[in-house]
Structure 1
Amino acid sequence: MMNIRFLFALALTGLLMGVVAASDRAHPRSTGASTRLGSASHLTNEAEREASYWIAKAQNTLSEKLQQSAKLNANGNAKNIIFFLGDGMSIHTVTATRNLMGDSANQVSFEKFPYFGLSKTYCVDRQVADSACTATAYLGGVKANYGTIGVNAKVKRHDCTTGQNPDNFVDSIAKWAQDAGKDTGLVTTARVTHASPGGMYAHTANRDWENDAAVFSKSGCSAKSNVDIARQLVEWNVGKNLKVVMGGGRRNFINTTVNDEEGLPGKRTDGRNLIQDWLKDKETNNQQAAYVWSKKGLSLVDLDKTEYLLGLFANSHCPYNGDLERSNYKLVKPSLTEMTEAAIKVLQKNKNGYFLFVEGARIDMAHHDTRARKSLEDTVEFSRAIERAREMTSEEDTLIVVTSDHSHTMTINGYPYRDSAITGLSDSLGADGLPFTILSYANGPGFSSTYNEQTGRSEITAEQTENVRFEYPATVPLDSETHGGDDVGVFASGPFAQYFSGNYEQSNIPAMMARALNIGPYANI
């Protein structure tokens, strides 16, 4: 009887296995592909086949964690903070960058930091944030409305009146640091008047008010009563007291009738030359100041003797780092790493310490164009700048925090083989028999690469994806891909780095940094 039952069970098991196998063939999406391209990829690291490899790796990580815990706050408060912002650097972006660097098991420099958390990026009035309201959160500690910088949520975008009221202004950690006798600076690959760097010093109802002409053209407001962001940088206390300002954006400092050093016109209509005004202010106060517009000019500055450094290296935004590497631009334009290194050399002279904000801005801009390869290239350079900063500073007295303002809609998909290039095609075909890319977007200009009105989904070749200007597929047609609303990573190394673990509001970040420095409203808590 037992033998009959056993045979019956064995037959039933075989039948069920056959049904499952048939189901898999009928529904290939259950394995993630309708058709595999080529043969299975070979594992490049043979040691990974052994369980002992992963056990040893875990033991090493655990040992590092124990050593880090023993060192916590051994030296009291932090003296310096370098705050790195990868604009639009989603978790997916970081993951894809690992593969671009060589393999999914790689780590970008800041992933090696001992503490990691997640921050919630929404605005007061939007589920998906922009770079303005988030700058107010991660630099000022207050959530604000979409499109506004350095003001509370009582101010709506374009509000010419409420945005002028100082009672609605939000102070940034740059002000808290300056009040505590620390030096401050900012470095960005965007215009220095753009939304993210603007969070250091500006108070405005519209992120687009980068120059006087934009105040009226963007919102119909008076440029006399609504001071533009460039003027705030040069004239208002926090901006004028920044010891280092480097990035792009010359056009917002000079008039339309004036050409900059590269022959490109300005945007201002008030006749002002704010670069000259900045230099005159420093001369009046007997301060050693330097203005530079090129890599060569920066190399000639004696950073040990310079108190104030203004570097405007482009009429608008600085070049993408990949374009910098592929062209002669690298001979005339400094990289993010080079700007960061120069900024630290200027700021480190203050015995009371410093606060430095560094933004890898063009990660975001490439995503908006669905040009994923360019975004990942800029993330590699962003990682390189962080690594250089950690080399130049001590983990004993310098807290380095790395995060993003918001995410993007790029995803990684398709079950590609381990050694497949992240910027290329998946190793399988869609149900329509056409290849698809490993990276894709929920919306954006890449829609035109994805669909054809006559034939449906367009065929994409491997050669197309090798072009750095290739626009990756998108589901919804938009001129510019949108941000994503998911949480972003926060990585920390140095004194009080453990504060940045867990999941929290983005507006908590400056509070934790201020506590580490023991400055501002969060001192002595």
Structure 2
Amino acid sequence: MKNIQLRSVAIATTALATSLFAASAVAQDTGTTESWFDAGAKAVTERAVRPVNTKQAKNVILFVGDGMGISTLTAGRILEGQLQGKSGEENYLSFERFPYTALVKTYNVDAQVPDSAGTASALNTGVKTRIGAINTAPTQPNAQCAGAMDTALTPLAYYAEQAGMATGIVSTARLTHATPAAVYAHSPSRQWENDGELPEEAVTNGCRDIAQQMLDPIGGNGLEVALGGGRSNFLPDGTGEGRRKDGRDLTKEWLASDSRAAYVENEQRLAQIDIANTSRLLGLFDKSHMQFEAQRGDEQPDLAEMTEVAIKMLQKSDGGYYLMVEAGRIDHGHHGGSAKAALFDTVALSKAVRKAMEMVDLDETLILVTADHSHVFTMAGYPKRGNPIFGLVTGPYETEPTLAEDGKPYTTLAYQNGPGAVKGERKHLTEEDIADPMFKPQALVPTRSETHGGEDVALFAIGPWAHLVSGTMEQNVVFHIMDKALNLRKRAAD
């Protein structure tokens, strides 16, 4: 995966971030003995009378913060608060106030530290599988087509379509990337995003690329909405952006699938869509992944805008809907060693969840927010409360940055490995260094791309049957919670 280079051009979000690098922190309200004690007692009282909703859900929205581990949640929460002029620690991301929470184990059947293909497959099919494979059986060899379709796993969206529900995907990554692909596709290799990536064995044995599978009926009439990046995988080679070798233009095929289908490529066209008179909507806003929130211009919609349009499209269905929304670039920011990129996209996810909550009836809609896996991203060093989250560590009773054993300051945020690793003597960091949009917090082990982490991730839930989210669970259980809430497999079989 390529190292991430954030644009140095100052735009709104980057300008806001730069304001966080100042050495002075927000004045703190420490509270009193009584205020902390009373707040704790109130929290328990609220939990004691919390109602349990066991109605059959009409809709399910699954939000996936790709790579959004616990440390990312904490740092993202602080960033969101500091952008609002607070110290940050007292803030909650929109979904962190959901009434039910669990820890989720993320390993793949063949990997202690997972990838997004195996984890997204577990979320969408209820079965754990191999690293790098999308919705294929755990016994199926990776990247081998022969036999793969005979034992293919059935994703939730297939059951939803069979039951007469509407389905959709939203992602800031390519729509053929591992997490969104797990909603609709089957592939023994996540790399087979377009037909040019298919090896001879796959072609001989009848496997198809992921992009063309997005046009499949998937048990019903197919996806009603798909918004994200990855335009190149849908267009023929020789057209400037296209990578397809078969000459097919899948955007035209999408339009030909229904007289009221629509296709858009930028934010302005998305805003102009006549939702009431559009049956199927495809939006491809970049040739590859969409831009990071920290560098996004006015040509691409943000995650909240895409989520809003997707919900409006799906709400037209009397049979309910299943929507998967992915903040895909949290993961890519971390891989590039850019905490700034990852955390601004975490805040964007919080905004998207908040928008969804404003639009749906939580009495009939189950909303789940989780991550597919974590990253080797750390937050440490005893900084004082309110210390700028991207800044140098300064202790609670210090006026100058804390110094390490080598006599040099260090940042609160860092990585266990990645492109930010120091080769040779460590630099004496300054506030100007860390204010650089391309600054990478220090990493210990030098690797081309920072890696995933293997620890558990959080799962947050609100709505019908949300109380099933508790304790520590295997990742494939998430599918079964959604299935239970919707009574879905039974409905699909009837």
Fold conserved (TM > 0.5)?
A: yes
**C-alpha distance in structure 2 between counterparts of 1:386 and 1:158, whole Å:** 35
Given that residues 215 and 223 in structure 1 are in contact (C-alpha distance below 8 angstroms), is that contact kept between their aligned partners in structure 2? no
Report the CA distance shift for 1:159/1:521 in structure 2 as closer, same or farther (over 3 A): farther
Given that residues 162 and 219 in structure 2 are in contact (C-alpha distance below 8 angstroms), is that contact kept between their aligned partners in structure 1? no
- Counterpart residue number, 1:35: none
- Counterpart residue number, 1:475: 444
1:434-445 → structure 2 map (5 Å cutoff): 434-445=408-419
**C-alpha distance in structure 2 between counterparts of 1:302 and 1:321, whole Å:** 26
Report the CA distance shift for 1:472/1:41 in structure 2 as closer, same or farther (over 3 A): closer
- Counterpart residue number, 2:289: 317
Aligned pair 1:77/2:56, yes or no? yes
**C-alpha distance in structure 2 between counterparts of 1:42 and 1:493, whole Å:** 33
Pairwise CA distance, 1:159: 1.0
Match of 1:111 among 82, 89, 96: 96
Structure 2 counterpart SS, 1:231: helix
Aligned pair 1:210/2:212, yes or no? no
Structure 2 counterpart SS, 1:415: coil
1:407-418 → structure 2 map (5 Å cutoff): 407-418=374-385
1:58-207 → structure 2 map (5 Å cutoff): 58-68=40-50, 71-73=51-53, 76-101=55-80, 102=82, 103-163=88-148, 166-207=149-190
- Counterpart residue number, 1:247: 228
Taking only aligned residues, the RMSD between alpha carbons, in angstroms, comes to 1.9
1:426-465 → structure 2 map (5 Å cutoff): 426-427=393-394, 428-447=402-421, 450-452=422-424, 456-465=425-434
Please list the CA deviations of residues 259-285 of structure 1 after superposition, one character each: whole Å capped at 9, or x if unmatched: 3xxxxx2111111111111211223xx
Structure 2 counterpart SS, 1:356: strand
Structure 1 counterpart SS, 2:311: helix
Structure 2 counterpart SS, 1:146: coil
Aligned pair 1:298/2:267, yes or no? no
Report the CA distance shift for 1:350/1:41 in structure 2 as closer, same or farther (over 3 A): closer
Pairwise CA distance, 1:240: 6.1
Structure 1 counterpart SS, 2:393: strand
**C-alpha distance in structure 2 between counterparts of 1:348 and 1:198, whole Å:** 22
Please list the CA deviations of residues 393-423 of structure 1 after superposition, one character each: whole Å capped at 9, or x if unmatched: 1111111000000000001111011121111
Structure 2 counterpart SS, 1:492: strand
- Counterpart residue number, 1:385: 352
Given that residues 212 and 223 in structure 1 are in contact (C-alpha distance below 8 angstroms), is that contact kept between their aligned partners in structure 2? no
- After alignment, is 222-231 or 172-181 more displaced? 222-231
Aligned pair 1:280/2:256, yes or no? yes
**C-alpha distance in structure 1 between counterparts of 2:45 and 2:362, whole Å:** 18
Report the CA distance shift for 1:522/1:133 in structure 2 as closer, same or farther (over 3 A): farther
**C-alpha distance in structure 2 between counterparts of 1:313 and 1:174, whole Å:** 23
- Counterpart residue number, 1:36: none
Match of 2:33 among 32, 51, 55: 51
Please list the CA deviations of residues 301-338 of structure 1 after superposition, one character each: whole Å capped at 9, or x if unmatched: 111222211111111111111111xxxx22x2111000
Match of 2:314 among 331, 335, 347: 347
Counterpart of 1:342, as a letter, is V
Structure 1 counterpart SS, 2:417: strand
Report the CA distance shift for 1:522/1:412 in structure 2 as closer, same or farther (over 3 A): farther
**C-alpha distance in structure 2 between counterparts of 1:365 and 1:429, whole Å:** 30
Report the CA distance shift for 1:266/1:51 in structure 2 as closer, same or farther (over 3 A): same
Structure 2 counterpart SS, 1:81: strand
Given that residues 161 and 220 in structure 2 are in contact (C-alpha distance below 8 angstroms), is that contact kept between their aligned partners in structure 1? no
**C-alpha distance in structure 1 between counterparts of 2:47 and 2:492, whole Å:** 28
Structure 2 counterpart SS, 1:440: strand
Counterpart of 1:121, as a letter, is T
Report the CA distance shift for 1:229/1:495 in structure 2 as closer, same or farther (over 3 A): same
Please list the CA deviations of residues 113-161 of structure 1 after superposition, one character each: whole Å capped at 9, or x if unmatched: 0000011000000000000000110111111111000111122222131
Counterpart of 1:86, as a letter, is G
Pairwise CA distance, 1:236: 5.2
Given that residues 77 and 495 in structure 1 are in contact (C-alpha distance below 8 angstroms), is that contact kept between their aligned partners in structure 2? yes
Match of 1:363 among 324, 327, 330: 330
- Counterpart residue number, 1:10: none
Pairwise CA distance, 1:521: 5.8
- The structure having more radius of gyration, on CA atoms, is 1
**C-alpha distance in structure 2 between counterparts of 1:86 and 1:322, whole Å:** 16
Structure 1 counterpart SS, 2:485: helix
Report the CA distance shift for 1:42/1:172 in structure 2 as closer, same or farther (over 3 A): closer
- Counterpart residue number, 1:257: 238
Structure 1 counterpart SS, 2:324: strand
Match of 1:423 among 387, 390, 398: 390
- Counterpart residue number, 1:33: none
**C-alpha distance in structure 1 between counterparts of 2:339 and 2:207, whole Å:** 37
Counterpart of 2:192, as a letter, is W
Counterpart of 2:479, as a letter, is P
In percent, how many aligned pairs have the same letter? 42
TM-score, structure 1 length as denominator? 0.84
- Counterpart residue number, 2:10: none
Aligned pair 1:226/2:202, yes or no? no
Structure 2 counterpart SS, 1:399: strand
Structure 2 counterpart SS, 1:185: strand
Please list the CA deviations of residues 147-197 of structure 1 after superposition, one character each: whole Å capped at 9, or x if unmatched: 00011112222213132xx33201111111111111110100001110000
Given that residues 105 and 472 in structure 2 are in contact (C-alpha distance below 8 angstroms), is that contact kept between their aligned partners in structure 1? yes
Pairwise CA distance, 1:451: 3.3
**C-alpha distance in structure 2 between counterparts of 1:254 and 1:41, whole Å:** 50
Report the CA distance shift for 1:42/1:509 in structure 2 as closer, same or farther (over 3 A): closer
- Counterpart residue number, 2:397: none
More helix per residue: 1
Pairwise CA distance, 1:239: 9.2
Shift >6 Å, 4+ stretches: 39-42
Given that residues 233 and 239 in structure 1 are in contact (C-alpha distance below 8 angstroms), is that contact kept between their aligned partners in structure 2? no
Given that residues 444 and 477 in structure 1 are in contact (C-alpha distance below 8 angstroms), is that contact kept between their aligned partners in structure 2? yes
**C-alpha distance in structure 2 between counterparts of 1:40 and 1:184, whole Å:** 48
Counterpart of 1:416, as a letter, is P
Given that residues 116 and 500 in structure 1 are in contact (C-alpha distance below 8 angstroms), is that contact kept between their aligned partners in structure 2? yes
Given that residues 68 and 371 in structure 2 are in contact (C-alpha distance below 8 angstroms), is that contact kept between their aligned partners in structure 1? yes
Q: When the two structures are aligned, how many residues end up with a matched partner?
A: 458
Given that residues 440 and 474 in structure 1 are in contact (C-alpha distance below 8 angstroms), is that contact kept between their aligned partners in structure 2? yes
- Counterpart residue number, 1:22: none
Counterpart of 2:120, as a letter, is A
Pairwise CA distance, 1:460: 1.9
Given that residues 376 and 417 in structure 2 are in contact (C-alpha distance below 8 angstroms), is that contact kept between their aligned partners in structure 1? yes
Please list the CA deviations of residues 352-403 of structure 1 after superposition, one character each: whole Å capped at 9, or x if unmatched: 2111100000000000001001110000010000001001111111110000
Structure 1 counterpart SS, 2:46: helix
**C-alpha distance in structure 2 between counterparts of 1:41 and 1:358, whole Å:** 35
